[in-house]
Structure 1
Amino acid sequence: MRPAVILVGADKGGVGKTTIARALLDYLAANNVLTRAFDTETPRGTLRRFHPDLTTIVDLTSTSDQMRIIDTLGTAEVKVSVIDIRAGGLEPALLALQDTGFLDAVREGEVTFILFHVLGSSIASLDEIAEIAPYVEDADYFLVKNHVNDTTFFEWDPVTHRRYFDKVQTAGEITIPKLNELSYEQVELAGTPFSTFVSNRTAEGDPADHSFVLRGYVRTWQNKIAEEFDRIRLLELISGKDGR
């Protein structure tokens, strides 16, 4: 299996990138895919708060941290790397990957590169698509509509759609459904992965006393996300069994 890198990012803040990265890590764990994660929100590291055992905080524009990630892709026992890109950092991160030769390695088939581009609800997100198009020609590039915060997305008229989407080849779209607000808040307070909350465990692995109802909402939400990841055949993309 060749190494796989999954970037979760956007240049706009507040679109739920880290929530999607957390859901992705839970999905991969549920499917027995060994994964390491990198959190570029320095120094706080929101992803690391929920997945401390998997996550390292890095600065993707730092040469030493680029080496920590890219130089170990072929030698690390764990072959799948999830990188949660901080708000405003997507285009700089892609530029860094281009300058280091990573995108050349993707083009040559040495690495699988998957990009989840999390969209906001405004026209600014369409501008982002045009800006990063030159970097994703050889990536499995997915547009993600995240409704977890009750975001309402405008409908793109055909002219606007062609103006932006003719510039980039996407592998498809992913829809993240809305999660019950109280359930989301309780997971945040618990400071655990979604799957740990559903299992009624604390971050330390001890029995918890989470609401049965709220755990049910989170479980249903996770199942819907898993259906989306299954629909795009994410596991096949990661394993290289997608026929390429």
Structure 2
Amino acid sequence: MGRVHFIGGEKGGVGKSLTARLLAQYFIDSATPFTGFDSDQSHGTFSRFYKDFSSPLRVDDYESLDNIITIAETLPEHDLIIDLAAQTSARLGQWIEESDVFGIFTEMGHKVFIWHVMDDGADAMSLLDKTLDSYPQQDIQFIVVQNLGRGENFEAFEQSPIFQKAQQRNAYCMTLGKLHPKLVQKVDFNDLSFWAAANNRDLMNTPERQRVRVWLENSYTQFDHFLKHDDEPAEEHASPEAYAD
């Protein structure tokens, strides 16, 4: 059964592309085939770092969006990662509703994951509330990503009715740890995949590589809870040398 991951949050600057890149690296390291789509026409961050695995996506073009279905049909063993730019939910939702996209995925046997990446602001909570209301289907798995790189205190969210609402929808809430800002900047300026950041000795010193490895392992442990297949050994991770530069 394939899986389709819509990674959004609607708000800009909360770490949506970072989460998409992290999920891509998780799939690479666990030898899980996947195809990515990057809807950010202005920056294209996801496709910049994982260009061999992604292609551009226009949410204002049904033919472009239909490619998601085409790939799901032709590569049923692939997970799909759709990195959604800010303020794209209305157009995406219209395509989903008019095309009965979730019904198509159900017929294919694909499971849909909706990822909501958020900071600790009130607007991120409100956008999550709207997302939960927009997709009432019970067979959708919601993933709420509390990004410590974009917020320090999620206590207000965790005590809110919106958090309770997410729990009632069986959403999985994970915490994305914070990488040191100068380390993130170094990774970005050198266009490094996360594997390269954890292994490239020419560009990263030993403490920097280790910090990336710790961050990846902590994130992967949480991913394993809702993504790992029962028959896959949790400790095995491949490290393609293609990402060494």
| TM-score, normalized by the shorter chain, greater than 0.5 | yes
Deviation at 1:156, TM superposition (A): 3.8
Residues 176-191 of structure 1 correspond to what in structure 2 (within 5 A)? Answer: 176-191=176-191
Say whether residues 1:141 and 2:135 are aligned partners. no
| Partner amino acid, structure 1, of 2:121 | S
Question: In 2, are the aligned partners of 1:11 and 1:91 still within 8 Å (CA)?
Answer: no
Deviates more, 1:45-54 or 1:105-114: 105-114
| Structure 2 contact 119–151 (Cα < 8 Å) conserved | no
Question: How many residue pairs were aligned?
Answer: 229
Aligned residue for 2:143, secondary structure, equals: strand
What is the 5 A alignment of 1:149-164? 149-156=150-157, 158=159, 160-161=160-161
Structure 2 residue runs of 5 or longer lacking an equivalent are: 233-245
Q: What TM-score does the superposition give when structure 1 sets the normalisation length?
A: 0.84
1:185-205 superposed Cα distances (whole Å, 9 cap, x missing partner):
1101110211112120xxxxx
The question of 1:48 aligning with 2:44 is answered no
Q: Which runs of no fewer than 5 residues in structure 1 stay unpaired?
A: 201-206, 240-244
Alignment check: 8 A CA contact 1:12 1:120 kept? no
Deviations 1:110-155 (A, max 9, x none): 3210111112212222221232223152211111101124543242
Residues of 1 paired with 2:50 and 2:158: CA distance? 40
Which has more helix, going by share of residues?
A: 2
- Displacement of 1:12 after TM fit? 0.9
Whether contact under 8 Å (1:12, 1:125) holds in the other structure is yes
Amino acid across the alignment from 2:115: F
- The answer for the alignment partner of 2:194 in structure 1 is 194
Task: Describe the SS at the equivalent of 1:8.
Answer: strand
Matches within 5 A, 1:15-164: 15-76=14-75, 79-108=78-107, 110-133=109-132, 134-137=134-137, 138-156=139-157, 158=159, 160-161=160-161
Deviation of 1:162 (Å): 5.9
> What is aligned with 2:229?
236
Match of 2:242 in 1: none
- Matching of residue 212 in structure 1 with residue 206 in structure 2: yes
Shift of 1:45: 0.9
Any idea what the Cα deviations from partners look like across 1:148-171, whole Å, max 9, x if unmatched? Answer: 24543242475x426871796133
Aligned equivalent of 1:165: 165
CA distance in 1, matches of 2:216, 2:229: 19
What secondary structure, in the 3-state scheme, does the structure 1 residue paired with 2:156 have? coil
With over 3 angstroms needed to count, the CA separation of the structure-2 counterparts of 1:89 and 1:102, relative to structure 1, is: same
RMSD over equivalenced CA pairs, Å? 2.5
Deviation readout 1:36-58 (Å, 9 max, x if unpaired): 10000014311111011111011
Report if the CA contact (8 A) 2:7-2:115 is conserved.
yes
Q: 1:62 to 1:85 in 2, by over 3 A?
A: same
Please say if residues 4 and 81 of structure 1, whose CA atoms lie closer than 8 Å, have aligned partners that are also in contact. yes
Give the fraction of aligned pairs with identical amino acids, expressed as a percent.
Answer: 21
Give 1:64 shift: 1.3
Q: Residue 178 of structure 1: CA displacement?
A: 0.9
Structure 2 partner of 1:174: 174
2:220 partner letter: A
